[in-house]
């Protein structure tokens, strides 16, 4: 089977064929680093991490280049600095560091390149100069703007007509625009705000311009896949296409455009006033990152997702099942940990992670029912191979069940000491004391599992 992905540009599921045979370039819009990433920000990071892993599985390590940017100059960052009094550089460095740690906790791989907007000002100036020279941009009242009326293909990604674009609330009407649909490439920047010396004065770049400049530098004028959330289709990605194609005189910017669906929380739009605004950083204090990741993957990436804490708890129970099967398989060396064909087929069908997870449950049943060591080795390898591409089952089962110690939890050394004391009571046939200690540990969230090989434990 061939990888097929839904292309927002054509509105169809298409067979994937790289522009350069055997090589893949992918650009995904990254965070604007002004605050902690919420779970809606995390969804595209996890989705495109799975796609990155799948592409590497198909085309081989070293043949896939994944670029995800950091937006470190933006009006939201400026507003945060004014609100808090914190230095802009301190805000962006702190939030970038937390973003990296939080995404790593969700099991995501770092991109091959992570360009920062502030490191690509020269490229943004050059792209703007080209657009002006070709008649696609103009300067007025200190601003540099892209002229939408000079390009006939504007609106094809989003499917919006010019009238629909103007009627939309996301278009700023301003006296310095020749046409209301024109968008800003550069804006004047007063003292106290980030700004750079440009041919048009002291300015700061527009958000759309940043991604066009960074993707061109790291992937070229044309590349294979551009990804992001559905909310970015218009105006951000529409504007990227316009300025990039006009500057480079190309028939496309990215060949395939992929967008994940919207996210709600507890049945409603996320809102701090409703108490359902979940940052990844806070969720990681309550749940394992792997369970959060699985909760995001249980819904197809293009579908809307209602993210709930009950959903994370259910995802953790599913992971318990996977890890229990691996734990029972014990010291049996896994067979080839390649992605099994039945899981590959599902993932090659537009990244169908819910179906891929269903196949993983089938493999788990096969592992649990295996009667020989050879069968156990085969199915253990299949389960680990599937988990690798989905970014799951990367831990030792014992580490998974013991989990990370939270504030107030019993530490492993204390648990092991209590188990040793209980084992001594059992050896002395003091079963009342043994049962008392089991109940005591259960009250502290520790579940004991007795077997012929001894006693193991996990956090409930």
Task: Let me know: does 301 contact 227? Beta carbons within 8 Å.
Answer: no
pLDDT of residue 419: 83
- Do both 346 and 240 map to the same domain? no
- Do both 370 and 272 map to the same domain? yes
pLDDT of residue 402: 85
- Of 241, 260, 279, the last residue of a domain is 260
Query: What is the CB-side half-sphere exposure of residue 220 using CA atoms within 13 A?
Result: 14
pLDDT of residue 427: 78
User: In which domain, by residue range, is 447 found?
Assistant: 405-459
As a whole number of angstroms, the distance between CA 55 and CA 58 comes to: 5
How many domains does the structure of the chain reveal? 3
- Do both 181 and 319 map to the same domain? no
In this prediction the pTM is 0.89
- Do both 37 and 23 map to the same domain? yes
Residue by residue, pLDDT tens for the chain (460 residues) are 799 999 999 999 999 999 999 999 999 999 999 999 999 999 999 999 999 999 999 999 999 999 999 999 999 999 999 999 999 999 999 999 999 999 999 999 999 999 999 999 999 999 999 999 999 999 999 999 999 998 999 999 999 877 777 666 456 778 899 998 899 999 999 888 999 999 999 999 999 999 999 999 999 999 999 999 999 999 999 999 999 999 999 999 999 999 999 999 999 999 888 888 999 999 999 999 999 999 999 999 999 999 999 999 999 999 999 999 999 998 899 988 899 999 999 999 999 999 999 999 999 999 999 999 999 999 999 999 999 999 999 999 999 998 766 656 776 756 876 787 788 788 788 888 888 888 888 888 888 888 776 788 887 6
DSSP 269-317: ---GGGT---BHHHHTTTS-HHHHHHHHHTS-TTS-EEE-HHHHHHHHH
Joined together, the tokens standing for residue 232 give 């970015």
- Do both 26 and 109 map to the same domain? yes
- Do both 454 and 384 map to the same domain? no
- Of 225, 260, 295, the last residue of a domain is 260
- Do both 254 and 353 map to the same domain? no
- Do both 128 and 163 map to the same domain? yes
Q: Which helix (H) or strand (E) holds 166?
A: helix 162-167
- Do both 158 and 256 map to the same domain? yes
Q: What is the CATH number of the domain that holds 226?
A: 3.40.50.620
pLDDT of residue 26: 98
pLDDT of residue 169: 46
Task: Indicate the SS3 state at residue 99.
Answer: helix
Q: Which helix (H) or strand (E) holds 203?
A: strand 201-205
- Do both 396 and 429 map to the same domain? no
Q: What is the CATH number of the domain that holds 274?
A: 1.10.730.10
- Of 239, 260, 281, the last residue of a domain is 260
pLDDT of residue 403: 78
- Do both 272 and 200 map to the same domain? no
């Amino acid at each position: 089977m061939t990888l097929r992905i839904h292309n927002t540009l054509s509105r169809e599921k298409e067979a994937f064929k790289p522009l350069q045979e055997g090589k893949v370039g992918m650009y995904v819009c990254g965070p604007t680093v002004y605050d902690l990433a919420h779970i809606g920000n995390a969804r595209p990071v996890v989705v495109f991490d799975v796609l990155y892993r799948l592409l590497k599985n198909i085309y081989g390590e070293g043949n896939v280049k994944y670029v995800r940017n950091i937006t470190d100059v933006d009006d939201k960052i400026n507003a945060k600095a004014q609100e808090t009094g914190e230095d802009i550089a301190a805000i962006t460095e702190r939030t970038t560091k937390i973003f990296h740690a939080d995404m790593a906790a969700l099991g995501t791989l770092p991109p091959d390149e992570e360009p920062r907007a502030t490191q690509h000002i020269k490229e943004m100036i050059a792209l703007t100069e080209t657009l002006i020279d070709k008649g696609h941009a103009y300067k007025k009242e200190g601003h540099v703007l892209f002229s939408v009326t000079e390009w006939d293909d504007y609106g094809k990604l989003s499917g919006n007509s010019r009238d629909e674009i103007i009627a939309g609330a996301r278009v700023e009407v301003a006296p310095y625009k020749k046409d209301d649909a024109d968008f800003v490439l550069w804006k004047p920047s007063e003292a106290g705000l980030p700004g750079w010396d440009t041919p048009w004065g002291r300015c700061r770049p527009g958000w759309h311009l940043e991604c066009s400049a960074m993707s061109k530098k790291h992937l070229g004028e044309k590349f294979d896949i551009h990804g992001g959330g559905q909310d970015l289709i218009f105006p951000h990605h529409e504007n990227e296409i316009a300025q990039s194609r006009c500057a480079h005189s190309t028939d496309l910017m990215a060949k395939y455009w992929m967008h994940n669906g919207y996210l709600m929380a507890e049945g409603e739009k996320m809102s701090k006033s409703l108490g359902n605004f979940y940052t990844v950083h806070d969720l990681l204090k309550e749940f394992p990152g792997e369970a959060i990741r699985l909760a995001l993957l249980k819904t197809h990436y293009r579908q809307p997702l209602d993210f709930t804490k009950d959903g994370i708890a259910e995802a953790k129970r599913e992971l318990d099942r996977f890890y229990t099967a691996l734990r029972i398989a014990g010291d049996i060396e896994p067979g080839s940990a390649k992605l099994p064909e039945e899981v590959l087929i599902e993932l090659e069908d537009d990244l169908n992670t819910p179906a891929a997870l269903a196949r993983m449950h089938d493999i788990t049943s096969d592992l649990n029912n295996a009667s020989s060591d050879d069968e156990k080795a085969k199915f253990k390898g299949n389960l680990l191979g599937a988990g690798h591409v989905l970014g799951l089952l990367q831990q030792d089962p014992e580490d998974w069940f013991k989990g990370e110690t939270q504030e107030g939890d019993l530490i492993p050394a204390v648990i092991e000491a209590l188990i040793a004391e209980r084992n001594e009571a059992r050896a002395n046939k003091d079963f009342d004391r043994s049962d008392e200690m089991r109940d005591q540990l259960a009250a502290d969230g520790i579940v004991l599992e007795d077997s012929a090989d001894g006693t193991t434990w996990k956090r409930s």
